[in-house]
Chain A
Amino acid sequence: MAMTMTQKILAAHSGKESVSTGELILADLDLVLGNDITSPVAIKEFAKLGKDSVFDKNKITMVMDHFAPNKDIKAAEQCKMCRDFCAEKDITHFYDVGEMGIEHALLPEKGLVTAGNVVIGADSHTCTYGALGAFSTGVGSTDMACGMATGKAWFKVPSAIKFKLTGSLRRYVSGKDVILHIIGKIGVDGALYRSMEFTGEGLSSLSMADRLCIANMAIEAGAKNGIFEVDDITLDYIREHGGAEPVIYSADPDAEYDEVINIDLSQIEPTVAFPHLPENTRTFDNIGEVKIDQVVIGSCTNGRLEDLIAAAEIMKGHKAAKNVRVIIIPATQQIYLDAMEMGLLRTFIECGAVVSTPTCGPCLGGYMGILAAGERAVTTTNRNFVGRMGHPDSEVYLASPATAAASALTGRITSPWEVIGK
């Protein structure tokens, strides 16, 4: 029975020769993730089982990133609950303030995920690790609790859409533009319940930062997971970050796909998703004059070093437009440090931006950059739902770091090509 990449990983983790679309399986987990919002609910569920210990203290990770450093008393209580649980169960990979970063940037950086893994996380953007050739998907807190107790999760084996990439990206066009383009094309439920499998010769021109960003937003098309074929770029990344030995699963040549979509990377333009859905995408021939109040560069989608470098290149030597608040959030402590050593933080601050410690903060309207009624933000995050970044009457426009940086300089949504040329 021919299988897709995802199906092969699921078969191998459920002790089966092969699996087919729609089959329900129980799979062994290589890693179970939770954050400071979802873990407390999972910890309460876990307590109901009356088990003393977790299935494997090295295969559970909790990251305090959403409302940490704690934004209020309730957030502090939630983090404390996670901290106490991890201490009691002797969880190896507990990341608190000082060590933490935004979970989906942190785990690959720490080498906690490798090719061929099965990972669940009580966070919808857990699909990010598909960039490493892992099967990785978001679940709820109850699934997380079961995962912590048993090391297993149930899955319905998904079918897949194959994205065949060719060509290479133009200057200041990034993985973010690619995934926004794709979501604009197939819609926010265009891949509902399915895998998005990325392959093709175009892969060789995509950095890990691009791939992590693309896989990160697979959920924004409704997908169960996004997954990239493993190549030398993946293997180098895993090796550099001290990840476990990769296991490479490739799709069978005759695997069946619901659809094959060809994407010529050289045709992708800077793309922006207008409120209030990631599928409302436009390119600059159709954007016009949209004034903005705030720019956010950060998040699990685009808070990586490459993203900060792209933004800094555009902002260097310029001042942000008057009345635009620019907030830059390196996604992890390591990225913060690297950005500091490269002089990027100076560039941002001289431009008039604030630079924050790693946190999800404004991405989900938590804190550190909440919008008032009627305000607009251009952000490198992944969701522009009603009220996502603050008041229900505020507006969020999703864009790449380069577009966000260009917009910071002009005070309106601006293509990097306009500011810095193609």
Chain B
Amino acid sequence: MKYTGNVIKYGNNVDTDVIIPARYLNTSDHAELASHCMEDLDKTFVSRVQKGDMIVAGQNFGCGSSREHAPIAIKASGVSLVIAKSFARIFYRNAINIGLAIVECPAAAEEISEGDKVEADLDNGIIRNLTTGKEYKTAPFPEFVQKIIESGGLMQAIAHLSR
């Protein structure tokens, strides 16, 4: 899994209510959700996000509600990867289950700036900031999670799981 894109940067505790406000949860249409993504945190997000862009954020990204609409809105916006210092656990799970690539890397999340161009090679656990030339190592996903992603999502993986 390799990704390249420009960075849009946010701070700590970006919650699911700002990723996709509840007033838009009366639909599960992906494009419609994407059209309100980040609206209460950053009104410019929707107009400036480009396909392949990455979100880089601080601690506890995705905290709050269990709405799968949040990773769906981000993915449907064209975001290829979210790098954060840490993720809230339900968001982490949901992102994997729906196939939004995410990776925890505190050093990269700290040092990468808005607008930087970044390349991430998740198989080998390497994040490269092409703008500054700096490189970061990340832990690969646990094997179990890799299997889910390789199978194309939880729905496919669960069929093959046995104790």
Q: Choose from B25, B155, B163 the contact partner of A37 (Cβ within 8 Å).
A: B25
Distance in angstroms from A19 CB to nearest chain B CB is 13
Contacts of A140 in B (CB 8 A): 66-68, 71, 90, 93-94, 97-98
Distance of A279 Cα from B147 Cα, bound (Å): 36
Contact B93 A143 (CB under 8 A): yes
Q: List residues 338-389 of chain A with CB under 8 A from any CB of chain B.
A: 364-366, 383, 385-388
Contacts of B64 in A (CB 8 A): 124, 383, 385
Contacts of B59 in A (CB 8 A): 189
Contact A188 B63 (CB under 8 A): yes
Contact A14 B163 (CB under 8 A): yes
- Chain B contact residues (Cβ within 8 angstroms of A): what range? 35 or more
Count A-B pairs with CB separation below 8 Å: 135
Contact B17 A386 (CB under 8 A): yes
When each residue 20-31 of chain B gets 1 if its CB lies under 8 Å from chain A and 0 otherwise, what string results?
011101111000
Distance in angstroms from B69 CB to nearest chain A CB is 7
Q: Does A260 contact B (CB under 8 A)?
A: no
- Chain A contact residues (Cβ within 8 angstroms of B): what range? 35 or more
Contact A48 B158 (CB under 8 A): no
A38-B67, A139-B93, A365-B22 are known contacts. Are A392 and B86 too (CB-CB below 8 A)?
no
Q: Does B126 contact A (CB under 8 A)?
A: no
Contact B17 A387 (CB under 8 A): yes
Contacts of A271 in B (CB 8 A): none
Q: Does B133 contact A (CB under 8 A)?
A: no
Residue pairs across A and B with Cβ atoms less than 8 A apart, 22 shown, are A15-B163, A38-B68, A122-B66, A124-B66, A140-B71, A140-B97, A142-B97, A142-B98, A142-B155, A149-B158, A150-B158, A188-B13, A189-B63, A189-B86, A192-B86, A222-B60, A364-B22, A364-B65, A385-B64, A386-B41, A387-B17, A387-B18
Residues of A that sit less than 8 Å from B by CB: 14-15, 24, 26, 37-38, 40-41, 44-45, 48-49, 66-67, 71-72, 74-75, 78, 121-124, 126, 138-143, 145-146, 149-150, 152, 154, 156, 188-189, 192-193, 219, 222, 224, 277, 364-366, 383, 385-388, 392
Residues of B that sit less than 8 Å from A by CB: 13, 15, 17-18, 21-23, 25-28, 40-41, 59-60, 63-69, 71-72, 86, 88-90, 93-94, 97-98, 142, 144, 153-155, 158-159, 161, 163
